[in-house]
A and B are shown apart, each in its own frame.
Chain A
Amino acid sequence: MSAPLAFRNLTLGYDRHPAVHHLSGVVESGALVAVVGPNGAGKSTLFKGVVGLLKPLSGGIERQGIAAHDIAYLPQAAEIDRTFPISVFDMVAMGLWRRTGLFGGIGAKVRGDIERALSAVGLTGFEGRAIGTLSGGQMQRMLFARLLLQDARVIVLDEPFTAVDAKTSADLFALVQRWHGEKRTVLTSLHDIDFVRANIPETLLLAREPVAWGKSAEVLTSENLLRARRMCEAFDTRAEPCADDAA
């Protein structure tokens, strides 16, 4: 069972300017949470904080009983060098890092795990292809196969279905539901409000400040969405230090 993640008056940002401002709340173990908000609302920033790539400006994130390697992270724009001469099989095998480490061999059993992960994302037969030959959707499928092998208790997906077609997002969302069924904690940012309302139980609506957090149907009301849209995207270069923190 995965342990909860708790945000304690968390402020994350860049160069002292907050991108996520005073967020408090708890992600229960096994929860499937959508993070919704306009561009620049701090969704990616929040995820970077959760996986530990960004230190909080103030407040904190409590990860009870989860180490950094228990969290699998799919960034929005993965910094993958697609020209690198590596096969789909080897790329997916990277997901086994925690099991194999620097030198662990990849035996018949592990090989079977990799084949199964590839078949789960519909990429059977692509093992030997160079990653540079994949389409955008196939690339995303491959990254999901790698996530499958990471076998993490907490999975963070930053806009996983952006720029992929309906069939691919449906296939990949089936995996998200499978993770949810396996009681893994999943955080994912999404832009399709109707989809979230229909498929994801819990939503955090973020617009730098948290707007609402709870059951998706109760959070994604038209008033809340309007409030989120009014958020000012630009930061003020002459902003004063935040008064809330002094208290």
Chain B
Amino acid sequence: MMLADTFITPFTEFEFMRRALVGIIALVLGAGPIGVFLMLRRMSLVGDAMAHAILPGAAIGFLVSGLNLFAMTAGGLIAGCVVAVMAGLVARYTELKEDASLATFYLLSLALGVTIVSMKGTNIDLLHVLFGSVLALDNQTLLLIAINATITLVVLALIYRPLVIECVDPGFMRSVSSAGGPAHLAFMALVVINLVSGFHALGTLLAVGVMMLPAAIGRFWARDITQMIIIAAGAGIVSGYLGLLISFHSGVPSGPAIILVAGVLYIVSLLFGQVGGLVRQLFPGRHLEA
């Protein structure tokens, strides 16, 4: 059967394709919801900045112990969390807003990382970190991605209420509880965790893609945050599946293929989305009676 050959056989025949699919699904289950919150908090570019902040940490981990999963993950987590927490604290307690304070810290982090790398004088191959290796996920990495996705969903469930209230009405949140600040920091930690998972699969640059593109897709189809999260995760899974297939059949690198599929879904949503899609705006139909 032709269809099965195209759509299913690659995964039944090749273990690396199955691993890649499982890894991508686990990744977007966590990254999708995180992306929706980033978007709603107008922090869409924060993911990008954080990805830069993680890079030097991962590179230092690589310098110290080579292509070691644990060292690179720890380095990335530490660098990311330090930048997130410092930026968050500066934004909360000074006049500087979140975007400006984050920009200062991630730029410093990036500069520091590059300096350390160059002082060591090693010409390390950062391509792995930049573009990932979704087709070469070993057990350890797969486990790491799965653990991160689990942590993300559990913590998100724990902080969901304060996080939503903090987004809609921060003044109200402050007046009823002090949980808003910790919820925000926990959320930033989740952003870091997901970017770290993402860079193992897709590299730091594309990790942000599976976070933000599905979220933007969700915005065009739902008016409610719960539906938005579900659609984002679904769009991520579809992008991962189709991206891997295209990569398998055409030989395009898998990371970019996944992001490009998400990009196509995004453009379709932008045009035909139920909520504020362009076609609906241009041809809204006749107005209603009341």
Q: Judge: A and B partners, yes or no.
A: yes
Taking Cβ atoms with an 8 Å cutoff, the residues of A that contact B are: 51, 53, 68-69, 71-73, 75, 78-81, 84-87, 91, 94, 97-98, 102-103, 130-131, 146, 150
Question: Residues 220-244 of chain B: 1 if any A CB is under 8 Å from the residue's CB, otherwise 0?
Answer: 0011110010000000000000000
Stretch at the interface among B107-115, B118-126, B169-177, B196-204: B169-177
A85 proximity list for chain B (CB < 8 A): 40, 222-225, 228
Which of chain A's residues has its CB closest to B228's CB? A85
Of B158, B161, B164, B171, the residue contacting A78 (CB under 8 A) is B171
Question: Residues 149-171 of chain B: 1 if any A CB is under 8 Å from the residue's CB, otherwise 0?
Answer: 00000000010011011011111
Q: Is the CB of B170 within 8 A of A79?
A: yes
Q: Is the CB of B175 within 8 A of A51?
A: yes
Given contacts A85-B222, A85-B224, contact A75 B171 (CB under 8 A): yes
Which of chain A's residues has its CB closest to B162's CB? A102
Which of chain B's residues has its CB closest to A75's CB? B171
Q: Is the CB of A102 within 8 A of B169?
A: no
Of B165, B169, B170, B176, the residue contacting A69 (CB under 8 A) is B176
Q: Is the CB of A102 within 8 A of B171?
A: no
Q: For the complex, what is the distance from the CA of A86 to the CA of B169, rounded to whole Å?
A: 11
B175 proximity list for chain A (CB < 8 A): 51, 53, 68, 71-73
A130 proximity list for chain B (CB < 8 A): 223-224
Q: For the complex, what is the distance from the CA of A69 to the CA of B172, rounded to whole Å?
A: 11
B162 proximity list for chain A (CB < 8 A): 102
Q: Is the CB of A84 within 8 A of B168?
A: yes
Which of chain A's residues has its CB closest to B171's CB? A79
Q: Is the CB of A80 within 8 A of B177?
A: no
Which of chain B's residues has its CB closest to A87's CB? B224
Q: For the complex, what is the distance from the CA of A112 to the CA of B1, rounded to whole Å?
A: 56
Distance in angstroms from B108 CB to nearest chain A CB is 29
Of B172, B179, B223, B225, the residue contacting A94 (CB under 8 A) is B172
A72 proximity list for chain B (CB < 8 A): 175
Q: For the complex, what is the distance from the CA of A72 to the CA of B172, rounded to whole Å?
A: 9
A53 proximity list for chain B (CB < 8 A): 174-175
Distance in angstroms from A101 CB to nearest chain B CB is 8
Of A81, A86, A87, A98, the residue contacting B176 (CB under 8 A) is A98
Determine which residue in B169, B224, B228 has the highest number of CB atoms from chain A within 10 A of its CB, and name it: B169
Which of chain B's residues has its CB closest to A80's CB? B169
Of A68, A71, A79, the residue contacting B169 (CB under 8 A) is A79
B170 proximity list for chain A (CB < 8 A): 79
Q: For the complex, what is the distance from the CA of A91 to the CA of B167, rounded to whole Å?
A: 12
Q: Is the CB of A84 within 8 A of B40?
A: yes
Of A79, A91, A97, the residue contacting B177 (CB under 8 A) is A97
B176 proximity list for chain A (CB < 8 A): 69, 94, 97-98, 150
